[in-house]
Amino acid sequence: MADDAIDVQALARDVRYLRDRLDILDCVSRYCRGLDRNDPDLLNAVYHPGAIDRHGPFLGTREEFVPWATELMRGFPGSHHSLTTHICEIDGDVAHAESYCVFFTVMPEGKPLGCGAARYIDALERRDGRWAIATRVEVIDCIYEVAGSEWLAPEWTEIKAAADRSDYCYARPLRAPRPKQSYAG
């Protein structure tokens, strides 16, 4: 084979691997969005039926976890879960992932923000061509309370986050509202 010849089989394996990695990362990312938007449909979709989740004091199936998590999140005015490091090992239709998450929780009644770092340790499976979580264990690395403040000018918070489907991330088509005070030309 010439140096510039393409090994099509190797290329196909690489593309499959990259596609699987992206699908798995998208799955874990959709979990964060589902939690922050308190969207039970999205949360259900990231797990296979009967999947097991161990989150803090909770241990149960997807069918038990999603109602528990959405009820828990209703108690907070807002939250933000952000993925950072993501490690993934794929073996056929099974994958093991460790995804680092930094989270902030707006506490009710002006209490300090809850924040911390956690890792999602996941066993995922591809069933019928779709990657989803089969087993998840959340490991909390650290948690803190941080005093909130309004250090940005009010214009920065004109567009409010919502822990439901009224949040701007669901807007289709997306339109940018005019700010009350504009600094653009």
Is 178 part of a structural domain of the chain? no
In a domain, 54, yes or no: yes
Number of domains present in the structure of the chain: 1
pLDDT higher than 60, residue 27: yes
Contacts of 33 (CB under 8 A, 6+ apart): 39, 42, 169
Measured CA distances, 22 to 29, 88, 108, 184 (Å): 10, 10, 36, 36
Would residue 176 count as lying in a domain? no
Mean of pLDDT values over 118-128: 98
Q: What CATH number is attached to the domain comprising 62?
A: 3.10.450.50
**Structural domain includes residue 183:** no
Residue 2 confidence (pLDDT) above 60: no
Q: Is 78 part of any domain?
A: yes
The pTM of the full predicted model, rounded to 2 decimals, is 0.88
Q: Are 24 and 95 in contact (CB under 8 A)?
A: yes
Let me know if residue 89 belongs to a domain: yes
Residue 160 domain boundaries: 8-170
User: pLDDT tens across 160-185, in order?
Assistant: 889 898 998 899 999 988 888 766 54
Burial class (CB in 10 A: 0-12, 13-18, 19+), 121: middle
